[in-house]
Amino acid sequence: MSSVIFTAFEFVPIAIFSAIFFFMALFIKYTNRLTIRSVGSDICLGALFIQITLLAMPVWMSGEVSINIAAHMAVTIMALLLWIISVWLLQRRKPSRTRSANIYQKFIDYLKKQSNIRESLSYVLGAFTITASLMMVLDFISLKPATWNLQAVRIVLLVPGSVIIGMAGYYVYRYLQKEQLNQTFERFYKEITRDNILITVQSTGTRKYDRDPTQPIVDIIRGSIMRGVLGPSIFGLEILKNSCIELLTTSGMRRKSLDKVTSHFISQIDEIGKLSLKMDEDESAAGSIRIIGEIGECAISRGIEVPVEDILRRLFEYYDVLQLRGYEIMKMTIIDAISRIGSAAAAHGIGSIPPRSGDMLGTIGASAVRDKDRSVIKEISTALFIIGKGSAANSLETSVKQTALKLRDIGVSAVQNDMAQEANQIVSYLEVQGTIAASNKLELGTEQAIWSIKDIGVAYGYQHMETGINAAVGALGNIGMESSSRKLDDAVDQALWSLKEVSRYAIADGLDSSIKQSARSFARLAIPEEDKVTATVKDIRKYFDADEAKRFSKFEQEYTSALKAAGTH
Q: For 510, list phi and psi in degrees, rounded to 5.
A: 65, 35
Cα 426–Cα 429–Cα 433 angle in degrees, nearest 5: 140
What does the pLDDT read at residue 151? 66
| DSSP state string for 464-489 | T-HHHHHHHHHHHHHHHHHHHHTT-H
Residue-wise burial string across 361-395, b where 16 or more C-beta atoms lie within 10 A, e elsewhere: bbebbbebbeeebeebbebbbebbbbbbbbbbbbe
Q: What is the mean pLDDT of each run of 10 residues along the chain (569 residues)?
A: 61 83 87 84 86 72 61 82 87 64 60 74 90 77 58 77 90 87 86 85 61 88 86 90 90 83 91 89 88 90 81 88 78 88 88 87 87 86 92 89 93 91 93 94 93 94 90 94 92 93 88 89 90 88 73 84 73
- pLDDT number for residue 564: 83
- 4/1 Cα distance (integer angstroms): 5
pLDDT of residue 557: 87
Give one word for 63, left, alpha or beta, with left for phi > 0 and alpha for psi -120 to 50.
left
pLDDT of amino acid 143: 47
C-alpha distances in angstroms, 113 versus 83, 175, 234, 513? Answer: 22, 21, 14, 48
What whole-number distance in Å separates Cα of residue 388 and Cα of residue 247? 30
* Residue 476 Cα distances to 399, 449, 460, 502, angstroms: 20, 9, 14, 10
Q: How far apart are alpha carbons 295 and 340 in whole angstroms?
A: 10
Q: Hey, what long-range contacts does 158-163 have (CB within 8 A, 24 or more apart)?
A: 158/11, 158/128, 158/131, 158/132, 159/128, 161/11, 161/15, 161/18, 161/127, 161/131, 162/124, 162/127, 162/128, 162/131, 163/124, 163/127
The stretches of 371-509 forming alpha helices (DSSP H) are: 374-393, 397-416, 420-439, 443-462, 466-485, 489-509
pTM recorded for the entire structure:
0.79
